[in-house]
Each structure stands twice: as structure tokens, then as C-alpha cells.
Amino acid sequence: MYLKTGRVIKVSGPLVMAEGMEEANLFDVVRVGEQRLIGEIIEMRGDKASIQVYEETSGLGPGAPVVTTGAPLSVELGPGLIESMFDGIQRPLDAIERAAGDFISRGVEVPSLDREKRWHFTPTVNVGDEVETGDIIGVVQETSIIEHKIMIPYGVKGKILSIQEGDYTIIDKIGEIETNKGVLPLTMMQKWPVRKGRPYSRKLNPIEPMVTGQRVVDTLFPVTKGGVACVPGPFGSGKTVVQHQLAKWADAEMVVYIGCGERGNEMTDVLNEFPELKDPKTGEPLMKRTVLIANTSNMPVAAREASIYTGITIAEYFRDMGYSVALMADSTSRWAEALREMSGRLEEMPGEEGYPAYLGSRLADFYERAGKVICFGKDGRVGTITAIGAVSPPGGDLSEPVTQATLRIVKVFWGLDAQLAYRRHFPAINWLNSYSLYVDNTGEWMNENVAEDWSDLRLKAMALLQEEANLEEIVRLVGIDALSEEDRLKLEVAKSIREDYLQQNAFHDVDTYASLEKQYKMMKLVLKFGDEALRALKAGVYLKEILNMEIRDRIARAKYISEDNIGAIDEIFVELEKQIDDLISKGGIMND
Ligand code: ADP
Ligand code: MG
């Protein structure tokens, strides 16, 4: 197909204006200049196109040729995705480095997925089978952990004419299908335009928790498989650690991690660290179930804008196979800044703090692509995407536009608090202002699957934390002497909830993860101390004596009891009752 060449008329950083583009369409990918820089048309007016260029535009000037590829920005989907690291427009970082040295040189053409590598394909359908969109026709054991399902692409329907087991590249023909448009070859790769959500049969209400092993998350502010959450917090408050912990521990089958242009060295850290991470469940490298999208700081701002779409499209593809996928974006603020910069260069009317008026709807479009769905395909399988976006509000000010727009969409808010981080209370999730709108549903699930009093214990813990805040206010006003012994005991129990339960060290071998069973036992123990202490107090024992009990130390260290030994927590229960009984009988004598 011959397409007319346009000409650059203006270059403004990553934004290029071109004329003579009447044959191109909005959202077409174009090649700009002699260097064939990759760009995307983000606005069309008559024959003039505004192009967001994903590579450095220095040296580019008026008159340079622009050609459209006639296709929208798309990703390649097929075996080879897992363990890959891509930039924001799905260029493989290692292949690019090999082709161009340390810096990604401009206009480099590297296919997203390896064209040479052979994968062992095993058909799961037979010749003569009728198949349609989403039907699984075969599998590839892509990594030791993940079986890649090969699916009939969108819009294709017909009868399998041939299909063979064997070792194929992603572009080899693995079979043929007879459709009403004729016979088509079947391959293991498909493409999808990133700005469009991949379709599914039906959306379901996400009610099952995504267990993360992080106590403050699972117990107080749970997220569901298919849920949406955000983690806002100032610099250094622990956003990245939270995201990494979830990548490692969440009970999702696949992880898509989008490192969205946080400070340059931080991205390099991700690129270095992720390949080192072990999957705790299998002992294999975590990368064996991870796709990494990284915008390093030497990449232009526009690539960041695209990266979250590239990431979520890949997540949707694995969801379509029936997997549970966890998607992290760190940080969506950097993405929003890219959006703001492009909007500014387009001279659009700025909204709040210079962000475009469509910031909220763009964010909603992104999070809307998460969820729990019945996938296309005859087997009616269910897949989920849980999306967790970090937000970096400047100065930690939650009233800024990106945080506010995000809070209007997501159902879980883990508010990281600079004060808590400063006091080294980690994860620094503020229990007073954070929330989860899934808690009713997950509570039922927990009651059925973990323990019937799970929700009661959670409520009790939340109430104590709230009471602590109220009592502290009174102490601030009139001093600790104004409090009764019972109130002082409440403060102690709340402190124990915070320090012995909510605080969790991501870098401690045992403490880094707590199963729901362990969380339940620990929570029950901390609250049990409160009940038992109250019993003693009422029997006339001095609070001071109760607080000096040796057992408290064991309660505090319960978090370090390993998963294969959690019965040891039950022993602390027994010992607690015994020590309280002893105090009461001793106290009884003293009081006589
Ligand atoms: P942010 O991404 O918000 O700038 P980081 O995630 O890089 O912050 O966290 C900053 C530091 O806080 C970490 O390097 C670590 O020392 C500490 N930290 C955060 N969360 C935890 C945790 N759960 N356990 C232990 N240390 C933590
Ligand atoms: Mg960070």
C-alpha cells in the first residue's frame, strides 16, 4: 500500500506537528524524519497531525518526512512475554541494548517478541473442531511456572483444518482455520492496540480477596482479585516497597510491573533487583511469572504516557487465558506528568495545576480495564486483573489533582504517612484514613474460609485504633492522669496492635509474609491480651503488674514464628491465661 509522505512543520520536544497527513488517522503510529523515530498521532486537524514522539527529537527540523504505518500503537502478544523487560512501547530492553549499545539509539527496529526462538506447542483441539474468539487451541510451557495458552484471536471464527504439535517460532504456522473469509493460518502471536481494552464476555463482582501476606492490607484494608487500589505517599514513605511486596507475595499467578519513570536510579534499581527476586512460592526467580515495563530516565516523557497502556494490555492478555494477574504501576504520578507535558505542548486549556481536564477520565479508562471477568472462549474461564497504582503527590499533599482523581475511581486507599515512615512504622499505611470498600465482601469470604470470627476481630481492632486516637487527644489536652486504668489499658492494646501486628518488616525472612491463618492467630492473640488484662484489672490487679508480664514479650515476637510452626502461637494463648490467673490469685491475696 502506498501512503503519502507528510512533512514536519514544527518540533516542540516530544511533540511534532506535521502537514500533508490527510491519509493518516488519529492514533496511527508514524515514522518521523530520516531516523524513522517512532511516534503516534494524538490529534488530527485537517491534514495536520500532532505527533507524540517516543524517542529523542533533537536534530529533527521542519521539512523532515513523516510516514504513517496505518496501524495504531499495538503490542505483540504471545510466548516470549514472560521474563521480558520492555520499554513503554514494548521494545525489549536487552535486545535494544544489544543492537545499539548502552543507550537506546533512535529508530532502532527490534521486534517486541523474539522471532527466532522455538516453543513447544501442544494442541488442545482437533481437526474439525469449531472454534471462535478466545477458544484455547493449544498450550506452550513458557516458563517452569506459567503455561501460555494459545487463543483464537478476536473476530476469528471457524473450523480447524489442521493443527500440529511441534517446535515453532511465534510466526510459524501451527495450523489452519477455515473461516467465512477463507482459510487463515494460525500462529502463536497476536497483536492488540494498546489504547483499547481487550474484550471479554462479562464482568463479575470481585469478592474474593487477593491475599498479600501483608497484615495491614489483608486484615484491615483488603484488595480483591480483580480489584483496584492506590498507594499514595510522599517520597520515602514506602510505595515501592509495598509494590514489590505485593509483586512477590500476592496470590496472583502473573505479575505485570510497570516502572513508570520514577527517579532514574530507582528504575535502574528495579531493572537490577527484579531479576534477583525469588518467587517465594516456587523458589524460582520471580521473573518466571513477571513481565516488566520500565521507562528509564533517559527515555522521553511520551514513552511513559504509553507505558501504562502497554502494561495493562499485556495484563489483559494473561487474564484472557484465565489467570489472576496483579498489575503494579509505580508511579501513576509520573504518567500523569507526561500527560500534562504533552497537553501543555498541544496548548490545550489547562485544568487544575496544569493537568488536562481529561486527567480523571484517562485514569478511569485505565483502572476500568482491571476487574474480574468471564473471558471469551467456550470454557467460560474466569480471569482477573488487580491494579495497584502508586501515586506520588508532591509534598505528600493528598488534595492534589492526581491523588484526588485516583481516589474517585479506586476502591482501596492505602495512605502512606511520612510521620509513620519517619518513626519507622512500616508499612507506613495510616490506619485512620485508609480504607477498603471491598471489606464487606472479603469479610464474608474470610469468615467462611479462615475463621468465623475474622470480621468481628477486625472490627474490634479497628475500634481500638480509633479509640486510641480519641484518647490520645484527651491526653494531649488534660494529661495521662485523666484516664482511667481501663482506658490506659486500651492504649496499651492499641499500641500492641500497631507494633506487634501492623508493623511488618519487608526485609525479615519470616516477618515479610504472614498467611491468613497466622494473621488470624496473631490478631486474636493481641486482642486476647486485652480481654485477659481487663479480667485481671477487674479482679483488682494493678495495671502496672499486668503490663510487666513476661508473656507480653512473647506476644510481641509472635510475628517471627515461622509458618510451619504457627501452632506455637496457641501455646502463647495458654501461657497468657495461666500468667493472668497467677496474677489474679496473687493480686487477690495482696488486696485482702
Ligand atoms: P517510596 O517509593 O515511597 O519513595 P520506598 O518504597 O523506596 O519509598 O521506601 C523507602 C524506604 O523505607 C525503604 O528503602 C525501606 O528502608 C523503608 N521501608 C519501606 N517499607 C518498608 C517495610 N515494609 N519494611 C521495612 N522497611 C521498609
Ligand atoms: Mg518509589
- Alpha-carbon span 2 to 19, nearest angstrom: 17
Return the residue whose CA atom lies nearest to atom 27 of ligand 1: 426
Contact present, 26 and 43 (Cβ < 8 Å): yes
Residue 483 CB contacts under 8 Å (≥ 6 apart), including other chains: 471, 474, 475, 491
Tell how far CA 576 is from the center of its chain: 40
Over the range 364-402, which residues count as b (16 or more CB within 10 Å of their CB) and which as e? bbbbebbbbbbbbbeeebbbbbbbbbbbbbeebebebbb
Mutate to test the pocket of ligand 1, among 246, 268, 269, 426 (most ligand atoms within 8 A of CB): 426
- Cell output for 545: 503488674
Which candidate, 231, 230, 207, 188, places its Cα nearest to that of 317?
188
Q: Is 424 in the pocket of ligand 1 (CB under 6 A)?
A: no
Ligand at minimal distance from the CA of 242 is 1
Contact present, 33 and 8 (Cβ < 8 Å): yes
Q: Which residues of the chain have pLDDT under 50?
A: 591-592
Q: What is the pLDDT of residue 592?
A: 44
Return the residue whose CA atom lies nearest to atom 10 of ligand 1: 236
Q: Is 418 in the pocket of ligand 1 (CB under 6 A)?
A: no
Return the residue whose CA atom lies nearest to atom 12 of ligand 1: 238
- Alpha-carbon span 466 to 83, nearest angstrom: 44
N- to C-terminal Cα distance for the chain?
A: 102
Ligand at minimal distance from the CA of 233 is 1
User: What is the 8-class DSSP label of residue 385?
Assistant: E
* Alpha helices (runs of H) in 409-509, residue ranges in sequence order: 418-422, 439-449, 454-478, 485-496
- Cell output for 566: 504457627
Q: Is 187 in the pocket of ligand 1 (CB under 6 A)?
A: no
Mutate to test the pocket of ligand 1, among 215, 241, 388, 512 (most ligand atoms within 8 A of CB): 241
Return the residue whose CA atom lies nearest to atom 13 of ligand 1: 238
Ligand at minimal distance from the CA of 241 is 1
Return the residue whose CA atom lies nearest to atom 15 of ligand 1: 238
Tell which atom from ligand 1 comes closest to the C-alpha of 330: 2
Tell which atom from ligand 1 comes closest to the C-alpha of 214: 23
Strands, sheet with 182-186, edge to edge from the N-terminal-most edge strand: 130-132, 157-163, 175-179, 182-186
Q: Is 573 in the pocket of ligand 1 (CB under 6 A)?
A: no
Which candidate, 111, 307, 325, 334, places its Cα nearest to that of 235?
334
Ligand at minimal distance from the CA of 235 is 1
Per residue in 530-587, pLDDT (tens digit) is 999 999 999 999 999 999 999 999 999 999 999 999 999 999 999 999 999 999 998 7
Q: How far is the CA of 242 from the centre of ligand 1 (A)?
A: 8
- Angle in degrees, 0-180, between the axes of helices 485-496 and 454-478, rounded to the nearest 10: 120
Q: What is the pLDDT of residue 375?
A: 98
Tell how far CA 242 is from the center of its chain: 10
Domains and CATH numbers, the chain: 5-72 (2.40.30.20), 202-428 (3.40.50.300), 454-591 (1.10.1140.10)
- Alpha-carbon span 402 to 394, nearest angstrom: 10
Return the residue whose CA atom lies nearest to atom 17 of ligand 1: 238
Residues annotated within a binding site for ATP: 233-240
Q: Is 154 in the pocket of ligand 1 (CB under 6 A)?
A: no
Tell which atom from ligand 1 comes closest to the C-alpha of 234: 3
Q: Is 427 in the pocket of ligand 1 (CB under 6 A)?
A: yes
* Alpha helices (runs of H) in 287-434, residue ranges in sequence order: 301-320, 332-345, 359-368, 401-407, 418-422
Q: Is the pTM of this model over 0.85?
A: yes
Using DSSP, state whether 121 is helix, strand or coil: strand
Q: Is 235 in the pocket of ligand 1 (CB under 6 A)?
A: yes
Q: How far is the CA of 353 from the centre of ligand 2 (A)?
A: 22
Q: What is the pLDDT of residue 568?
A: 96
